[in-house]
Amino acid sequence: MPAQVPENWTTLNVSKAFGIRGSYPQDLRIKRIYNSKNIYAQWLPSIEEDSREHQGRNKGGKGKRLVIQESLNTDDALEAAKRAVKWVQSKQQAMREIKDQQEGKTTNSLLDYWDPYFRSESKVMETRRNFKKWRRETLRMWSADDYGISNQPWARKSVDLITRSDYEDYFALLEKRARANGKGNGSGSKGEMKTLINKLLVRAENDFAGHRFPSFPPISKQKKQVQHLTLEQWQLLMQTIFELGEGKEGKARTKKQYEALPFNPYNRKCIRNWVDLYDAMALEWFFYLRAEDMCRLRSEWFKRNDSGSWTCFLETAKKDRDLHRTSHYRRDADSYLKRIIGRKPEGYLIFPHMDRPIGNEAESGVLGSLNFLLKAAIEECLPDFPVKERKWTTIRHTAFRLTLEEMPELGVAPDINAFADNGHTSPMQLRDTYLRYIDAEKTAARARRTIKPTPNIRFGGKIKSMKDVKDDD
C-alpha cells in the first residue's frame, strides 16, 4: 500500500492516493462499506455523460444525483484502485454507447476526422523543412500509449458530445504525467494537444453548423529562469574547446589546412570536430542562431561589408526562400568570421563532411554531434553545471542574456524590437526570458547597497559580551 494511504482510511481518491496512470475521471474513489469486507468503487458522471434516467437523480428526478457504486471483490486498497480504473473506463464506454443511441449519433468522432486531416496536412508539410520531425511529433500526440488523443474515450464519440469535463480530465492526465517526469505542470503538452484537437474540430464545423464546441481549461504556463552561462563560464568553455582542438582553430585558415586536420569518422572527439564546435559556438555568440539553423548554415550566406561588419542572410523556408537578415552586435566578429569562412569558403560551415538529406537537414545528426561535443567540453571545465542544461539552446540563451547584461538599452523600445527581430525572436520573449530576471537581480543588488546593515542586537542586556555566555557541559 502506498505510504500516503492511512491505515484506517474510509474513502480514497484513486488519482491522488495511488497515482495510477491512464485516462479516467479525477473524482473516481474507492470506499470501505461498513457491512462488507470488500472495497467499493464510487463515481459520479457529469450531467452531460450520465445516461441514467434523470441523470441519476432520486425522487423521480427531483432529488440529488447519486453516485454509481460497484463492489471490487477485494479488500486490498491498491488492487481495488486498479480494478476501479478498469471498471470506470468500462462504465464510461457503456454510457457513451447509450448516449450515442439516445442522440442517434454514432459517427463524426475525432477518429473520423483524423485521417483526412493528416493526409491533407502532410501534403503541405512535406514541402517544408523538418517534415519528418513534424510527422513524428504529430503521430506521437495522436497515438501515444496512455496520453495520445486517439486513446482517450471521448475521441470515439461524436464531437458534439465532447464535454468540458472530458478536456478537464485529459489535462489532469497530461499534468500528472508531466509532474511525474519532472516537467512542471505540462503546459507545453496541453498547448500542443489543444492545437491538434482544434485543427480536427475545424474540419468538423461543416458537419455541425451552429454548434458551439466546449472551451478548454485555461493553461497556466510556469515561467522559470532559463539556464545560461556567466561571462566567466563562457570564456572558460571557449578556452577549453580551443585546447581540446589543440589550438588548431587559430592555425587552420585555409580550406587545405582545415581538411588536413586530424579527423576520424568513427571518433567524434577528433581535432577537426573540435574546431567545428568552436566555429559553431562563435557563430551562435555573434548571430543568436536557433538550434535548427546550425545544420543548415552555409558559407555563401555570410557577406562581409566594406566597414568590416558581416551580415548573415539566413534562409528560413524551402520554397520561395525568404531571407532573414541577421547582423552581429559585437565588434570583434570580423576576425572570427575571416577564419571560419577562410577554412570553409563554400558549402556547409558546421561538420561539412556530414550528409544532409535534401530539404531536411535537421535529420543529418549535426545538432546531435554538437550537443555530444558540447557536453564533453562542459564536463571537462564546468563539472558542476546542470547536466540537463548541457545543450545547444543554453548557448543561444547565453548569447542573448550576456548581450542584454552588457548593453541594457537593448531591452528598451525601440531598440528591443530591432534586437528581437535580428535574433529571430520577439520583444515579449526577451522580456519574459531574460529582462525580468536581469531587472530583479539589479534591484536586489541596488537594495543591498542602499539598505543599512541590521544593528547588532546580541549584546547589551544581561549579556554584555561573549564572556557572559556559559559553555555547555
Can you tell me the distance from the alpha carbon of 311 to that of 315, in angstroms, rounded to the nearest whole number?
13
Q: Tell me the residue type at 135.
A: R
pLDDT of residue 331: 93
Structural domain contains residue 365: yes
Structural domain contains residue 270: yes
Q: Are residues 25 and 131 in the same domain?
A: no
394: helix, strand or coil:
helix
Q: Which three cell numbers stand for residue 238?
A: 571557449
Q: Which of 339, 368, 396 is the C-terminal boundary of a domain?
A: 396
Structural domain contains residue 162: yes
Q: Are residues 139 and 257 in the same domain?
A: no
440: part of which helix (H) or strand (E)?
helix 436-450
Structural domain contains residue 324: yes
Q: Are residues 244 and 269 in the same domain?
A: yes
Can you tell me the distance from the alpha carbon of 251 to that of 253, in angstroms, rounded to the nearest whole number?
6
Q: Tell me the residue type at 56.
A: G
pLDDT of residue 317: 42
Q: Are residues 124 and 250 in the same domain?
A: no
Q: What is the CATH number of the domain that holds 264?
A: 1.10.443
Structural domain contains residue 469: no
Would you list the DSSP string of 228-275?
Answer: ---HHHHHHHHHHHHHHTTTHHHH--SHHHHHTS---TT-SSSHHHHH
Ranges of beta strands (E only) in 260-393 are 302-304, 310-315, 323-327
Q: Are residues 82 and 122 in the same domain?
A: no
Q: Are residues 120 and 249 in the same domain?
A: no
Structural domain contains residue 80: yes
pLDDT of residue 319: 42
Whether pTM > 0.85 for this model: the answer is no
69: part of which helix (H) or strand (E)?
strand 68-71
Q: Are residues 273 and 317 in the same domain?
A: yes
Q: Which of 372, 396, 420 is the C-terminal boundary of a domain?
A: 396
Name the DSSP class of 109: B
Name the DSSP class of 149: G
Q: Which of 207, 239, 272 is the C-terminal boundary of a domain?
A: 207
The count of domains in the chain is: 3
367: part of which helix (H) or strand (E)?
helix 366-381
Q: Are residues 331 and 380 in the same domain?
A: yes
Domain residues for 46? 11-103
Q: Are residues 278 and 379 in the same domain?
A: yes
In a structure prediction context, what are the per-residue pLDDT tens digits for the chain, which is 473 residues long? 454 678 889 999 999 999 898 889 999 999 999 888 999 999 999 988 888 888 889 888 888 999 999 999 999 999 999 999 999 999 998 888 787 766 655 578 999 999 999 999 999 988 877 788 899 999 999 999 889 999 998 998 889 989 999 999 999 999 999 888 877 888 889 999 999 999 999 999 988 888 899 999 998 876 778 999 999 999 999 999 999 999 999 999 999 999 999 999 999 999 999 999 999 999 999 999 999 899 999 999 999 999 999 999 987 544 434 578 899 999 999 999 999 999 999 999 999 999 887 767 777 889 999 999 999 999 999 999 999 999 999 999 999 999 999 999 999 999 999 999 999 999 999 999 999 999 999 899 999 999 998 887 888 788 888 888 888 76
Q: In terms of DSSP bridges, do strands 310-315 and 302-304 run parallel, antiparallel, or are they unpaired? A: antiparallel
Q: Are residues 197 and 274 in the same domain?
A: no
Structural domain contains residue 417: no
Q: Are residues 122 and 160 in the same domain?
A: yes
147 and 177 in contact (C-beta within 8 Å)?
yes
312 and 326 in contact (C-beta within 8 Å)?
yes
Cβ-in-10-Å burial (0-12, 13-18, 19+) of 130 comes to middle
Structural domain contains residue 73: yes
Q: Are residues 249 and 380 in the same domain?
A: yes
